[in-house]
């Protein structure tokens, strides 16, 4: 666990978290969220869908961004204020997603940081958006 | 599982999904997302934080909105395009969250639906935002 204080954060700084999205992740995410849409759970159904195979929940992919800001930059002590996510492409089971948050704007009076956020599978952007957080401060 | 076709959706229609956020949910969400921030997992740490006790991941609460649009309205066949979330208040373990998505705008040429989304604990709004989805169509 890391803490990067507001005073030490610069525009352009970034952090990443990468994870292979396993079948177990998708089953557990369905259990926790209640989202049991068959495109996530039913291979026969999913093969007949536009996606051609089971895909991960979009919000599962999005949760990796929360991991970046909540555990790496700014990390421990961060208060998450908002997140926007645009789902650009599906993530299949077994694919490895890398989430990145890049500092785009700093608000010194409120210790807030705006990040541009992105998740990729290889070179393909599967999710993009923005985060706004309240960073821990030395002050 | 439900499907409500684009042609049958009207502005003001809404659906809900309610769930008690258990300790198990938070542990599993940490495992799936990789977000092991101690404010979610370490009661001693959390008691010293601004939150005074362990809280659920904001994206866990947000995932309940995905459940509403992916399983209830429009439900099966929905393609999730984007989600915005503003985290307004923490959710403690054991609290019951109700997620609601209300149809705010219809785009007939693209079969898209914009929802106003909200999660509450009792009367308190803990999360608010918007969803944009591609709804299944009879056409």
Percent of chain A's residues with pLDDT above 70: 100
- Asked if the model's pLDDT at residue B12 lies above 80, the reply is yes
- B102-118: buried (b, 16+ CB within 10 Å) or exposed (e) per residue? bbeebeeeebbbbbebb
Helix (H, G, I), strand (E, B) or coil at B27: helix
* Domain annotation covers residue A12: yes
Per the domain annotation, does B116 fall within a domain? yes
What percentage of chain B has pLDDT greater than the value 70?
100
So what's the pLDDT on residue B97?
98
CA-to-CA dists, residue A86 to B7, B31, B42, B106, angstroms: 24, 24, 32, 18
Among the listed residues B134, B132, B130, the one whose alpha carbon sits nearest the alpha carbon of residue B111: B134
Query: What was the pLDDT predicted at B92?
Result: 98
Close Cβ partners of B8 (under 8 Å, ≥ 6 residues apart): none
A95 inside domain: yes
CB contact B82 to A (< 8 Å): yes
How high is the pLDDT of residue A99?
98
Which residues of chain A are within 8 Å of residue B37 when distances are taken between CB atoms? 1, 70-71, 75-76, 78
Query: What's the rounded Cα separation, in Å, for the pair B127 and B83?
Result: 12
Quick check: A7 contacting B, CB < 8 Å? no
Residues B75 and B83 sit within 8 Å (Cβ to Cβ)? no
For A88, nearest residue in chain B (alpha carbons): B81
Number of domains in chain A: 1
Q: What interface predicted TM-score (ipTM) does this complex get?
A: 0.95
Domain that holds residue B121: 6-19+57-134
A14 lies in a domain?
A: yes
The pLDDT assigned to B73 comes to 98
* Cα B7 to Cα A60, B80, B107, B108, B135, distances in angstroms: 29, 18, 11, 8, 9
Over residues B26-76, the pLDDT tens digits come to 999 999 999 999 999 999 999 999 999 999 999 999 999 999 999 999 999
How would you classify residue A104: left for phi > 0, otherwise alpha for psi between -120 and 50, otherwise beta? alpha
B17/A contact by beta carbon, under 8 A: yes
Q: Residue B27 domain-assigned? A: no
B46 pairs with which residues across the strands?
Answer: none
Assess contact for B13 and B104: CB atoms under 8 A. Answer: no
pLDDT band at B139 (very low <50, low <70, confident <90, very high): confident
* Assigned domain for A77 exists: yes
Query: What is the C-alpha separation between B129 and B109, in angstroms, rounded?
Result: 24
- Chain A to chain B, count of Cβ pairs less than 8 Å apart? 123
Q: Is residue B36 part of a domain?
A: no
- Here the CATH number for the domain that contains residue A75 is 3.10.129.10
Interface residue A125 vs chain B (CB under 8 A)? no
Residue A30 lies in a domain: no
């Amino acid at each position: 666990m890391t803490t990067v204080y507001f005073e030490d954060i610069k525009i352009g700084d970034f952090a990443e978290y990468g994870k292979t999205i396993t079948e177990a992740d998708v089953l557990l995410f369905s259990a926790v969220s209640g989202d049991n849409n068959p495109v996530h759970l039913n291979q026969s159904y999913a093969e007949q869908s536009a996606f051609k195979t089971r895909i991960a929940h979009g919000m599962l992919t999005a949760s990796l961004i929360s991991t970046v800001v909540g555990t790496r930059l700014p990390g421990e002590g961060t208060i998450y204020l908002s997140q926007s996510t645009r789902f650009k492409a599906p993530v299949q089971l077994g694919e490895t997603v890398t989430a990145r948050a890049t500092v785009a704007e700093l608000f010194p009076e409120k210790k807030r940081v705006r990040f541009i956020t992105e998740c990729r599978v290889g070179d393909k952007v599967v999710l993009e958006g923005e985060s706004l957080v309240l960073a821990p401060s030395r002050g």
